[in-house]
């Protein structure tokens, strides 16, 4: 018997990262823009997504959603009312979605010719930050009722966000929401990140949000065309 050191140098999340990379390649090949929505519970992800799906469909975009929750299919039913194809992922106690769950729930269900796939993560600002789902854009949502210092309390999540959405902006005045402080805190954690203020109830900020989505799709098409031309 002998004691020795075995060098490993292996990422703990290597399996998830590999699966996520495979998903991303599939999504890109199919020309789908994929967004991962993360926030604390009650920040308004589902209401925000519901309005986003409705408005995008109204504009003729082809959209679908995967929605993660610990239990119940309440959110999926709510989102399905928009007419978009929706699937529920029940994690049964697991506090985050991972790439395997996303891949498994896409089996036998690849809504053809999608422009956008939205993945609504489990309401949690900690754990989902570690798991790549193969998304192009990570959207961190923050409601005005939560306090302006949320980004400072959950820096890991906000630092990994590609866009920050402030929700329930119609309640800002009642909550004495300090807009300048919120923007400053978000940008302290994630410099230059795009910030959009929205109200899913009143529709405020949605024109800007939809424009952001369209720009992302356009940039993607240009990047893909350039990559193809480069070959």
**Residues near other proteins (CB under 8 A):** 1-16, 94-96, 98, 126-127, 129-130, 152, 155-157, 159-160, 187-192
Cβ proximity to other proteins: between 9 and 113 the closer is 9
**What's the min distance (Å) between Cβ of 91 and other proteins?**
10
Cα 139–chain centre separation = 4
Q: Which two tokens stand for residue 61?
A: 């975009």
Cβ proximity to other proteins: between 16 and 46 the closer is 16
The Cα angle at residue 28 between residues 25 and 29, in degrees rounded to 5: 85
| Sheet strand arrangement including 137-143 | 86-90, 63-69, 116-120, 33-38, 137-143, 163-167, 194-197
Asked if 123 and 39 count as a contact pair (C-beta separation under 8 A), the reply is yes
**What's the min distance (Å) between Cβ of 127 and other proteins?**
4
**What's the min distance (Å) between Cβ of 49 and other proteins?**
23
- With the C-alpha atoms ordered 19, 23, 24, 25, is the resulting torsion angle positive or negative? positive
Q: What residues are paired with 63 via a beta bridge? A: 116
**What's the min distance (Å) between Cβ of 8 and other proteins?**
5
**What's the min distance (Å) between Cβ of 94 and other proteins?**
7
**What's the min distance (Å) between Cβ of 14 and other proteins?**
7
Cβ proximity to other proteins: between 50 and 135 the closer is 135
Helix or strand (DSSP H, E) at 159: helix 155-159
Cβ proximity to other proteins: between 108 and 191 the closer is 191
Asked if 109 and 87 count as a contact pair (C-beta separation under 8 A), the reply is yes
Cβ proximity to other proteins: between 145 and 160 the closer is 160
**Tokens 């866009």 sit on residue:** 163
Cβ proximity to other proteins: between 16 and 40 the closer is 16
């Amino acid at each position: 018997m002998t004691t020795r050191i075995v060098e490993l140098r292996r990422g703990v999340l290597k399996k998830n990262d590999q699966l996520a990379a495979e998903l991303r390649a599939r999504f890109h090949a199919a020309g789908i823009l994929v967004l991962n929505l993360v926030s604390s519970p009650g920040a308004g992800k589902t209401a925000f997504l519901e309005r986003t799906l409705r408005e995008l469909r109204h504009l003729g975009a082809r959209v679908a959603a995967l929605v993660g929750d610990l239990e119940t299919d309440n959110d999926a039913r709510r989102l399905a009312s928009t007419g978009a194809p929706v699937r529920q992922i029940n994690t049964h106690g697991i506090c985050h979605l991972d790439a395997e769950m996303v891949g498994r729930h896409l089996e036998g269900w690849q809504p053809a010719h999608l422009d956008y796939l939205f993945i609504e993560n489990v309401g949690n600002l900690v754990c989902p930050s570690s798991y790549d789902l193969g998304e192009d854009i990570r959207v961190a949502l923050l409601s005005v009722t939560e306090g302006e210092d949320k980004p400072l309390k959950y820096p890991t999540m906000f630092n990994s966000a590609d866009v920050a959405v402030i929700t329930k902006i119609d309640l800002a005045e009642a909550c004495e929401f300090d807009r300048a402080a919120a923007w400053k805190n978000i940008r302290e954690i994630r410099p230059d990140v795009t910030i959009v203020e929205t109200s899913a109830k009143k529709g405020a900020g949605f024109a800007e949000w939809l424009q952001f989505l369209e720009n992302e799709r356009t940039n993607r098409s240009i990047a893909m065309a350039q990559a193809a031309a480069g070959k």
